[in-house]
Structure 1
């Protein structure tokens, strides 16, 4: 008899589909740990600087922390409304108007989520039926594959190609089909650091319209771009009526542990997502929601400042990576910089990632883990490093990395 905790031979359980989608299930059915957990454990055991997982090592603005502390002290500690506190929904709507000219109704077209991850999950679970195709670019953030698998969808990818990690538009068109139900777009893009221009976004909208697909746009790095401006796909003609835009406070304000996210879009789409979301967490982070509303109202120099500071950190790490002998791909946005190990005569980035903490005391993430098998072969020699750390930490990491050629 098949255990209800596993599955039948012909029908994998939802957890198995999620694990397969996130590249956690081996061919023999064994369940592994995430690459983030593996690299963190290796970093800890070697006393290495962990530039694998993308979270900051210092807090964001003091006024946001003070607002959260004041809310807790004032007793704002019970359930928020399912769609989120009005003050944050109104702040999100004002933010979209201020930066992009978008005008979502905070009452019916904005909801607060437990981080962007829940927003993405709720959107996919709301609309994807077994057998539907969901298109992402590849490499892709691992949770995308997990949720697509959990929903019973088929994950289809279009490759992003070095050195600039832009898609081939013909290959993108070939990835669409009559079964394409949604395009899950990540812009600025993790793990490559690409920021997609109007030409790419317009083609995505044209193809989504042609095939009747939704666009679910993960824009959590929207304010972390270098020398280019983020362009929300919802601003492209023809996109607004089919687009759910998702973002969060974690990356912009360096409060990743608060897990405050939000989504906006047409009323009928947002209502469908909210129907699912209310049975995931219902609500969360009540005292943090008003504090993030304060953050969204910070002046323009805050937003330009965080991007400028992060760009400087990118450049510090890039120097060390160049000195190490890697081929360095300078990102236009996000927390991440990718390198090619091939100039060092190394073509297996997974193996190097496992050795790197012991070799030079720095941990990174191999890009192939963010890919399906064909994509993993294409990105076999790529490594991703996070530069969202204190300047002195990055300077030390750069110094250690510069010794790599001598250690190999």
Structure 2
């Protein structure tokens, strides 16, 4: 496009300029002939009509000079024997010019006492003029071609400057299509292309976030559902295999477990959508009730391994409200972690710290992992998936809380949650 624009500009400039050169060179030649004729006129004496000889100046190459009398006959010099139309027009007392296909003619009258006594005729062949015109046109064409050459180089450079970042952007898009969500478009220095690249990077970033949320939802759900599903299956199998078992009680327990499974799914979905629990809403539960539910779920599994679970809330803290489902899920992660990786008695304590509830989960084990990477996904001693603590911290952050390791020996995790006031009717 740049080359076509340059070509149009050169043509629009060169064609008129070529016509101007042609007209200018012909005008110069006519002017030169007129000067030659005037120089000859001053050599013609008043006795010219009486037959006085005329000494004409030396003419330029290819130029012809001739003197005609009033009878239209050539007396001296070179020219047609009988005066032509140009000489006849000059006889009226004015300079006459004529340009034909092969000749340029200028005729200048010779006057004496305000009377025309003769005419000087100067002529030349147009071939020499056309040679000069062609040489000028060749020079003009050379300049035009040079300009087009420069335009071509600039256009190629500009085209590469534009296509190179576009090719790089296409390559990046192809990598993303092949599944490489780490591919990012780099800056090119061209504002419009950089804007497209930035939009592309934002799109890939969001796409990667959506895929990451989907993968994390699947892993979080499988991690959180594994333990309650196992407990539900064991309870039902025990009720079926035990003669005289209370099936009604087993059914109630199974219903409670299924409700807890539903709450687990809801909580994991809420975390995947980054929706925080609304303060004071139906999700708020008394922390004492949350601890009782956790004790019912984990007393049996710990007792099977010969370990104790103790719950010790400080006086006046049991009625304080916390996000019930979030607290249950985090406590399950911490108690499961203590069950799998800890030793001895597991203690859960509650403290009130000026508007914040602190839940401490402590066992008699010793931390063997690097505390700096403890809450990173995939960090494990080889006996787990490495998801639980990272998931618990994310849930705590979604509830405007915080989960930290407060001691490595004995291993103690502390969950800080803003309490939502006291739950009426809750056990103290």
Fold equivalence (TM over 0.5): no
The higher-RCO structure (CA 8 Å, 6+ apart) is 1
Mark the structure with the bigger radius of gyration: 2
Greater share of residues in helix: 2
- Bucket of the pairwise TM-score, normalised by the shorter protein: under 0.3
